[in-house]
Amino acid sequence: MYKLGDSIPTRNAYGDTLVELGRKNDQIVVFEADIGKSTRSAIFGKEFPERYFNIGVAEQNEMAIAAGAASCGKIVFVSTYAVFASMRACEQVRTFVAYPHVNVKICVSHGGITPANDGVTHQATEDLGIMRTIPGMTVIMPADAVSTRELVIAATQWDGPIYLRLTRDGVPVIYNEETSFKIGKGILLREGKDITIIAIGDMVSKALDARDILSKQGILAEVIDMHTIKPLDESIILDSVRKTGGVVTVEDHQVECGLGSAVSEFLGENYPIPIQRIGLRNTFAESGEYELLLKKYKMSVDDIISGCFKVVGRKKKKR
Amino acid sequence: MVDTINKNLVSFLEEKATELRINILKMIHAAQSGHPGGALSAAEIITTLYCHEMRINLDNQRDPDRDRFILSKGHACPVLYSVLAMKGFFPIEELATLRKINSRLQGHPDMKKTPGVDFTTGSLGNGLSIGIGMALMGKLDKKDFRVYVMLGCGELDEGIVWEAFMAGTKFKLDNLVVIIDYNKLQLDGDNDEVMPLEPIVDKLEAFNWNVIRTNGHDFNQIIKAFAKARETHNKPTVIVADTIKGKGVSFMENKVDWHGLAPDDEQLKIALEEIRGS
């Protein structure tokens, strides 16, 4: 369905998968906040108008309505942008979705700086952290279209709330359709011995690019796709760092509270080793082309590479 | 339309409302914490819902076909807990555990802890949206259950309430009834002082709801209002119920200080005497 290397926004895969699921399961309902054409939930709405509810530009209302619908036994998908679901409707998510642990799957487009030229108002760079601190919440960002499809399907079988973040812009397909995905289980994409790169979402393909360049420079990096940051796959981290002794985390998010924090917290308590976090550092981004933003805000392939060199250097000092 | 309401029914409901008020005061006294004012103002409406209007199923408490009630003004939960205990969802004695550690009776309603609570509430303004979600699913599944949401007047300050009023109209939810417990007081003072709501009926009519104004302490009027709501098709109903905060206890009535204050031993004694006497 999706070809390796093709650049596909993961929101597209979300819309396609919703329709696929809708055909198999009539208990799936979808709520949208007037951006269905953009989040791609409209594809579902076209085929299943009776199960598709457009609540208008009112994300708090959308989230609380979804919670009520879920209490009637439905599998409820909520579509909007990541900034609005995680911040405008944050309290509805926390108190009426997470606290009663209802089956609401919050699938949101425009994660990180992927709505690049839209600017800061539409770039969600704090959402993973906000969602990760909510008890019982499951927090996911798939790396490509294939894993999006698999993880959205898995979400329908998962008991309780999920926050699943998508990209506006295209990201390369890195998985073939044989790969199997489990919520809460990271994927070991490349084996290595010198350093572990743990990445999430749109940054996974950047981590792979960085690995290719590093290998030519004599550093063999292990690459993990940590598509679920909560619950965190601790065993895949431990297995890898026992071998490599150093970590670079890469996320399209503030370095606080997201993937870098989750990994640091775990390793700090269990297996302290040198670590470097790649992500936004106490700054908002701005409008601009995605690749240029990554460069300006030090989240590019080059930054991942220099992060790896830093950690490798610190490992040596430690010895 | 119900023209004549059985006198026996009204006196039965009056008795039940008195029982509710007694339990409300006792439990808040036992907890030395809680919100008597807005619980007392809702006593007749809640009694009518649970003892006359709503279809509940004690044998199958989560019956998918049951009517739902959402207490959006969650702080008034002593009135809800009292009626649920009275109906037999849990033992009456448990009311004394209100707000205490390990209790099933949380400071605000919790659907995961308290039998009979249809949805968790307490953060104001959200109950109507939740009710819309339920009513929508009722329509989708062609079920005939009804959804009742009680809003406080103070929480009408919240923007999400008006988002929800719009949505109720859009989806033509004639299986949804909102009751506004219009006691005209909120934590910091009069509605008029904090954030004026009037003309409330005009506003709701402008949102194209079926609006019924009623005396929220008069069983005849409350019963009729619910009956009228059942006869209304293609639009949801909102009952604006004029009530008195702290109703039934002279020193609590219309006193904003009793929004969130527990009576001491002496005050409880006087209050119970007044309620039993009336």
Q: How far is B187 from chain A (nearest CA, A)?
A: 21
Q: Is the pLDDT of residue B5 over 90?
A: no
Q: Which residue in B has a C-alpha nearest to residue A66's C-alpha?
A: B133
Q: Is the pLDDT of residue B227 over 60?
A: yes
Of A51, A55, A96, the CB nearest to B126: A96
Q: Is the pLDDT of residue B143 over 50?
A: yes
List CB contacts (< 8 A) between B136 and chain A: 53, 65, 68-69
Q: How far is A14 from chain B (nearest CA, A)?
A: 23
Q: Does A56 touch chain B (CB under 8 A)?
A: yes
A305 to each of A214, A283, B136, how far by Cα in Å?
Answer: 7, 21, 52
Of B160, B166, B171, the CB nearest to A64: B160
Specify the pLDDT at position A1: 84
Start-to-end Cα distance in chain A: 48
Q: Do residues A153 and A212 touch, judged by C-beta distance below 8 A?
A: no
> In this predicted complex, what is the ipTM?
0.97
The CA distance from A74 to A83, in Å, is: 25
Q: Does A64 touch chain B (CB under 8 A)?
A: yes
Q: How far is A97 from chain B (nearest CA, A)?
A: 10
Specify the pLDDT at position B110: 98
Indicate which of A75, A96, A102, A103 best probes the interface with B, i.e. most B CBs within 10 Å of its own CB.
A96
Q: Is the pLDDT of residue B155 over 50?
A: yes
Specify the pLDDT at position B3: 55
Q: Is the pLDDT of residue A319 over 70?
A: no
**Known catalytic residue at A62:** no
Q: How far is A123 from chain B (nearest CA, A)?
A: 24
The CA distance from B49 to B67, in Å, is: 10
Q: Does A48 touch chain B (CB under 8 A)?
A: no
Q: Does B119 touch chain A (CB under 8 A)?
A: yes
Nearest to B110 by CA among B100, B102, B120, B118: B120
Q: Is the pLDDT of residue B273 over 50?
A: yes
Indicate which of A48, A59, A60, A72 best probes the interface with B, i.e. most B CBs within 10 Å of its own CB.
A72
What is the third-level CATH fold of A187-318?
Answer: Rossmann fold (3.40.50)
- Summarised one tens digit per residue, pLDDT across range A2-28 is 999 999 999 999 999 999 999 999 999
pTM, two decimal places: 0.97
Of A32, A59, A150, A251, the active-site residue reads A59
What are the boundaries of each domain within chain B? 7-277
List CB contacts (< 8 A) between B144 and chain A: none
Q: Is the pLDDT of residue B1 over 50?
A: no
Give the H or E element holding residue A126. none
Of B119, B120, B136, the CB nearest to A53: B136
Of B119, B129, B166, the CB nearest to A71: B119
Locus of tokens 């600017």: A119
A212 to each of A172, A187, A189, A220, how far by Cα in Å?
Answer: 16, 18, 12, 9
Q: Does B130 touch chain A (CB under 8 A)?
A: yes
Specify the pLDDT at position A293: 98
What average pLDDT does this structure show over B5-9? 88
Rg value, chain A, Cα: 19
- Summarised one tens digit per residue, pLDDT across range A121-135 is 999 999 999 999 999
Q: How far is B2 from chain A (nearest CA, A)?
A: 31
With an 8 Å Cβ cutoff, are B133 and A72 in contact? yes
Q: Does A95 touch chain B (CB under 8 A)?
A: yes
Domain with CATH 3.40.50.920 in chain A: 187-318
Q: Does B1 touch chain A (CB under 8 A)?
A: no
CATH architecture of A7-172: 3-Layer(aba) Sandwich (3.40)
Indicate which of A54, A61, A63 best probes the interface with B, i.e. most B CBs within 10 Å of its own CB.
A61
With an 8 Å Cβ cutoff, are B134 and A58 in contact? no
Of A55, A74, A96, the CB nearest to B130: A96
Alpha helices per DSSP H over chain A: 10-24, 36-39, 42-47, 59-70, 82-83, 90-91, 127-132, 145-157, 203-216, 234-244, 259-270, 290-296, 301-318
With an 8 Å Cβ cutoff, are A64 and B130 in contact? yes
Indicate which of B140, B148, B151, B175 best probes the interface with A, i.e. most A CBs within 10 Å of its own CB.
B140
CATH architecture of B7-277: 3-Layer(aba) Sandwich (3.40)
With an 8 Å Cβ cutoff, are B134 and A64 in contact? no
List CB contacts (< 8 A) between B131 and chain A: 68
Q: Which residue in B has a C-alpha nearest to residue A89's C-alpha?
A: B160
Q: Which residue in B has a C-alpha nearest to residue A93's C-alpha?
A: B126
- Summarised one tens digit per residue, pLDDT across range B170-190 is 999 999 999 999 999 999 999
Query: Confidence band (pLDDT; 50, 70, 90) for A176?
Result: very high
Query: Confidence band (pLDDT; 50, 70, 90) for A270?
Result: very high
The CA distance from B66 to B114, in Å, is: 17
- Summarised one tens digit per residue, pLDDT across range B58-90 is 999 999 999 999 999 999 999 999 999 999 999
What average pLDDT does this structure show over B180-207? 97
With an 8 Å Cβ cutoff, are B111 and A100 in contact? yes
